[in-house]
Structure 1
Amino acid sequence: MTQPEQSPGPLPVRVPLVTQPVGLLGSLQMARRNVLSIIPKIATTQPIVSGKTGKRWHMVIDPSAIREILLDRLEDYPKSDVTKNLLRPAIGESLFIAEGAHWRWQRRAAAPVFSQRNVRNLAPVMSHAATRAADRIAAAGPRAVNMLDEMVTTTFDVIGDVTFSGDGTFDRDKVHVAIDDYIAEAGKISLFDILGFPDWLPRPGRMMSGQALKQMKAMADSAIEARVARGHEGTPDLLDLLLEGVDPKTKRKMNTAELRDNLLTFIVAGHETTALTLAWSMYLMGFDQGIQDRARAEVQSVLQGRACSGEDVDQLPLIRMIVDEALRLYPAAGIISRTAQKHDTLCDREIRPGDTVMIPIYALGRNELLWDAPDAFRPERFADRKAIDRYAYLPFGDGPRICIGASFALQEAVIVLATLLGRFKFTPVPGKDPEPVMILTLRPEGGVWMTAEPLD
């Protein structure tokens, strides 16, 4: 006799996925409000879902097929024109967008920048920024704090310090405003993008934010040229390491424009995505007080009142599992998109040249074929990482184009979360649950509002 299935209890907030076919204009309206809302609900129970919205598309959720897209046949599935059209005005032909030989030499030149040694050397910067965040929260007193804003401030402090350390020529506030404006306006999908129109046709939102982007790029160019002229002392920052970077195969080094585009890529990705991961982690800490208590006990046992160092990161497995689970439930990049170059077959489905092939990372992390109770918050599912199919969990992508800064982001998230849990008990504000909304990244719309009770 089978036992009745246990109720999973209350579940964290999630996106209501579409259950009925939606036409082109309906899809456009939904995508401009929340890209994830166009994912069919059946993508959480099937290996592949296909359709046509202006052009043919396929959402692939099967790990073996995803491996073919991201690893085995990488050249046959370059990044989609939609992705490139959205991001090229801000970050040019940097690592995130470039293809083929141009991408390969940049990757080889930049890879040593994010070596384990260099990332560990940056841990004190992350720890100091986390401490400043904790001090700000303490100074706010008993009132509620929007942890999304706090995490954005904290991670921008980190990326500013490790990119242009001690450099007064780079106006961080102006860069921050320009990036936020571009994401808010230019990140909204255009009908031209969905229909596959060429990049030279203007998109109104991207034209509006163009002037701020020009100013940001000019400021970055000036800062790079000033650093080259005077050099830098002390622990090398990201700019120093990139200036020293050379492709070991071609001996090519980045020029000022290439350095600038990659630095802006690291600034955008290095603070926005980590801030969102931390904000969602804080939401989940408020959602499950029992796991928050266990995580705090781990922090107190390891740190014993001192600041979190790079060496401590490996001694905080539950903190890391919480971050991993937050990334499964709320991946910063909720969908990644590719354009098929050749005829192919994925999951017994015909793929034609020009088809859009999407990997809905949000649905992948909640697919019932791959995860037990996929909508539930269970960090312990990451206790045995070998039991998880590598291509079932892809918060940073995979294959040769896996996110170059993944280790940087994970280390920062663990240090900041551990620092905050070691100083406060966090309680959510009733009636203020965030709404998961994706434009370019999956953000907790409305903020993550919590009260922070200082610990003895």
Structure 2
Amino acid sequence: MSQTALPVRVPLVTQPMGLWASLSAARRNVLSIIPDIATRQPMVSGKTGKRWHMVMDPEALRRILLEKLDDYPKSDVTKNLLRPAIGESLFVAEGAHWRWQRRTAAPAFSHRNVTNLGPIMTAAAERSAARIVAAGKRAVNVHEEMVQATFEVISDVTFSGDEGFDRTAVHHAIDAYIAEAGRVSLLDMIGAPEWFPRPNRLFAGKAVARMKQMADHAVTSRNSRPSGTVPDLLDLLLAGEDPETHRSMNTAELRDNLLAFIVAGHETTALTLSWALYLCAFDPQIQDAARAEAQAALPYGAPATADDLPNLPFIRMIIDEALRLYPPAALVSRTAKKPDMLCGREVRTGDTVILPIYALHRNHLLWPDPDRFDPRRFVDRKAIARYTYLPFGDGPRICIGASFALQEAVIILATLLARFRFTPVPGRNPNPVMILTLRPEGGVWLQAEPVQP
């Protein structure tokens, strides 16, 4: 790798775009509508059908995500995209309805419960390594492989023991919904009301209905499991109760939250691992250092476990840096419910406030040489200024499954790097494209050469 080479990135806009050009660009890649100046300024504003503001200033982000949380709910566009599939779950709900669900679900993601689920992640890492070995000398699409591995994890921690639950069908339904419904519509960009039908989301409705039907069946048919069995996510949520209102989730609420966790809990981690493996192949020296750490920390030929995490700090740094360069939720939006001032600029009621995490993480005012791959930025995480790094959001709505995702990612990445040397396939660089999440279009194709522990 050349010392001046940079990993793949999204070409950002250098000239203003009108409504039609913005729509066309956004349907191909939402991130392509971000102006390049957003990586060099604290805030950028404009109008494309509706007034909008892109915010990269940490203090303004703190105001949006923490101090004035209720004044900046998730945008109608975001809700329109997600609600048909995951209802009024944690990812969509606002206000009191969100708060009681969060209080009810939070214990399921305690450090103890996440650690107890480590063996499921370790088993998935072992199966992933076996599939890569079975591929022999053929190039491997590690993105496809990571999607399979992380879906095994999330389905095992969500519906363990439910043999009647068709996991493959749910997986395909989720993918079909994102592919059909996740693209920005002109109706979204001009602010059309939610009740106005979006044809592509209507088309995806059958897949969603089938997915919900199967999840409902899994919830209602769950029987008690043998004593001593580690409780899975469904067990924990069934037993959950809001400590303030003593309310528990009904079947529809359980189903919507479980589907939300499945969607968010496997694809985002799969993307993080895919980009991390691409970056390791891009920089062989960093990969070699990570492999040395993994092999020193793990018993001969053994996969990583949750107990190994304290001995894998550099692997964790690679995950952190992959999340900086390619955050799965690379752009999120809010709707201003009250007038406000951000960065000395007027925000009116109804304005769209965009948090372009991709531009924040590459902002030259906040990060030195921001497009360079350098995991050692995270040697001291406490030195990273708050609200400059938001792969999981922040404030009260920070991702409830962040510790789960990080544990899973470190376990899988350490296991694979200890056993394989990954190298790029010439001419097959991934293309970062965001629909609902920042995906490597075309896959991440790598050669995987087994190495001795």
| TM-score of the pair, normalised by structure 1 | 0.97
1:112 to partner: Cα distance: 0.2
SS of equivalent residue, structure 1 residue 392: coil
In 2, the alpha carbon distance for the partners of 1:196 and 1:107 equals: 29
SS of equivalent residue, structure 2 residue 392: coil
In 2, the alpha carbon distance for the partners of 1:198 and 1:171 equals: 35
SS of equivalent residue, structure 1 residue 390: coil
Does structure 2 retain, via aligned residues, the 8 Å contact 1:178–1:213?
Answer: yes
1:123 aligned partner, one-letter code: G
Mapping of 1:26-65 within 5 angstroms? 26-65=21-60
Larger mean CA deviation between 50-59 and 306-315 belongs to: 306-315
Q: Which residue of 2 aligns with 1:4?
A: none
1:142 corresponds to 2:137: yes
In 2, the alpha carbon distance for the partners of 1:286 and 1:131 equals: 20
Does structure 2 retain, via aligned residues, the 8 Å contact 1:324–1:379?
Answer: yes
1:185 corresponds to 2:180: yes
Q: Which residue of 1 aligns with 2:200?
A: 205
- Residues 103-143 of structure 1 show CA distances to partners (whole Å, capped at 9, x for unaligned) of 00000000000000000000100000000000000011011
Match of 2:75 among 71, 76, 80: 80
Mapping of 1:4-153 within 5 angstroms? 9-153=4-148
Does structure 2 retain, via aligned residues, the 8 Å contact 1:232–1:240?
Answer: no
In 2, the alpha carbon distance for the partners of 1:241 and 1:230 equals: 12
Unaligned 5+ segments in structure 1 are 1-6
- Residues 242-278 of structure 1 show CA distances to partners (whole Å, capped at 9, x for unaligned) of 0000000000000000000000000000000000000
In 2, the alpha carbon distance for the partners of 1:169 and 1:104 equals: 33
1:8 to partner: Cα distance: 5.7
What is the aligned-residue identity percentage?
A: 70
Q: Which residue of 2 aligns with 1:195?
A: 190
Larger mean CA deviation between 198-207 and 290-299 belongs to: 198-207
Match of 1:410 among 406, 410, 414: 406
1:429 corresponds to 2:425: yes
Does structure 2 retain, via aligned residues, the 8 Å contact 1:8–1:373?
Answer: no
In 1, the alpha carbon distance for the partners of 2:340 and 2:374 equals: 37
Q: Which residue of 2 aligns with 1:385?
A: 381
In 2, the alpha carbon distance for the partners of 1:199 and 1:205 equals: 14
Q: Which residue of 1 aligns with 2:250?
A: 255
Does structure 1 retain, via aligned residues, the 8 Å contact 2:125–2:303?
Answer: no
SS of equivalent residue, structure 1 residue 22: coil
SS of equivalent residue, structure 2 residue 53: strand
Q: Which residue of 2 aligns with 1:368?
A: 364
Unaligned 5+ segments in structure 2 are none
SS of equivalent residue, structure 1 residue 443: strand
1:420 to partner: Cα distance: 0.3
In 1, the alpha carbon distance for the partners of 2:311 and 2:44 equals: 41
In 2, the alpha carbon distance for the partners of 1:411 and 1:432 equals: 29
Q: Structure 1 pair 60/8, CA: closer, same or farther in 2 (3 Å)?
A: farther
Give the RMSD, CA atoms, in angstroms.
0.9
1:420 corresponds to 2:420: no
SS of equivalent residue, structure 1 residue 36: helix
SS of equivalent residue, structure 2 residue 6: coil
In 2, the alpha carbon distance for the partners of 1:359 and 1:119 equals: 29
1:217 to partner: Cα distance: 0.3
1:237 aligned partner, one-letter code: D
- Residues 137-170 of structure 1 show CA distances to partners (whole Å, capped at 9, x for unaligned) of 0011011000000000000000011001121121
In 1, the alpha carbon distance for the partners of 2:191 and 2:3 equals: 42
SS of equivalent residue, structure 1 residue 27: helix
Mapping of 1:149-298 within 5 angstroms? 149-227=144-222, 229-231=223-225, 233=227, 234-298=229-293
Q: Which residue of 2 aligns with 1:301?
A: 296
In 2, the alpha carbon distance for the partners of 1:15 and 1:427 equals: 22
Does structure 2 retain, via aligned residues, the 8 Å contact 1:88–1:97?
Answer: yes
Mapping of 1:332-371 within 5 angstroms? 332-371=328-367
In 2, the alpha carbon distance for the partners of 1:211 and 1:105 equals: 30
1:212 to partner: Cα distance: 1.1
1:197 to partner: Cα distance: 1.2
1:411 aligned partner, one-letter code: Q
In 2, the alpha carbon distance for the partners of 1:267 and 1:76 equals: 29
1:211 aligned partner, one-letter code: K
- Residues 31-54 of structure 1 show CA distances to partners (whole Å, capped at 9, x for unaligned) of 000000000000000000000000
| TM-score of the pair, normalised by structure 2 | 0.98
SS of equivalent residue, structure 2 residue 333: strand
1:307 to partner: Cα distance: 2.5
- Residues 75-118 of structure 1 show CA distances to partners (whole Å, capped at 9, x for unaligned) of 11000000000000000000000000000000000000000000
1:230 to partner: Cα distance: 4.4
Q: Which residue of 2 aligns with 1:3?
A: none
1:309 to partner: Cα distance: 1.4
1:311 to partner: Cα distance: 1.4
SS of equivalent residue, structure 1 residue 370: coil
1:232 to partner: Cα distance: 5.7
Q: Which residue of 2 aligns with 1:311?
A: 307
1:443 corresponds to 2:439: yes
In 1, the alpha carbon distance for the partners of 2:340 and 2:367 equals: 28
In 1, the alpha carbon distance for the partners of 2:353 and 2:310 equals: 36
Does structure 2 retain, via aligned residues, the 8 Å contact 1:57–1:355?
Answer: yes
Q: Which residue of 2 aligns with 1:395?
A: 391
